[in-house]
Amino acid sequence: MGLTQRSSAVNFIAFHFPSEFYQMANLKSSKKDVRRIERRTERNRRILSRIKTLRKKVVAEPSDENKAAYMSALDKAAKSNVIHSNKVDREKSKLSTTGIHAKVRG
């Protein structure tokens, strides 16, 4: 089943199968966009995984080093627009007010 999708950013033909979503770009710029999106998605996954790991370390052992590393990772993620700055402020506020970051979930 073929479906044509058009947007200002990406022009491609998309095929939707029950388990996966396949993309077939037509334009050269669309092919570049698909590659760029894949790179950004992979980078964002790595950053978010690192943040989750640091959060778990803070919960397990709330030392100053762990807290500083966690806050630094949050700030860097907000700076590169991986997560919203308001979420970073919320997380840092919870960390500073509760002392331990146990109530925050993934």
Residues 50 and 66: their CA atoms lie apart, in Å, by 12
- The average pLDDT across 9-25 equals 60
What is the reported pLDDT for 48?
96
What is the reported pLDDT for 31?
87
DSSP string, 26-92: -SHHHHHHHHHHHHHHHHHHHHHHHHHHHHHHHHH---HHHHHHHHHHHHHHHHTTSS-HHHHHHHH
- The average pLDDT across 9-34 equals 70
The reply to whether the predicted model has a pTM over 0.75 is: no
Q: Where do the domains of the chain lie, and which CATH numbers do they carry?
A: 2-98 (1.20.58.110)
Contact criterion met (CB below 8 Å) for 103 and 60: no
pLDDT (tens digit per residue) in 61-98: 888 899 999 999 999 999 999 999 999 999 999 988 86
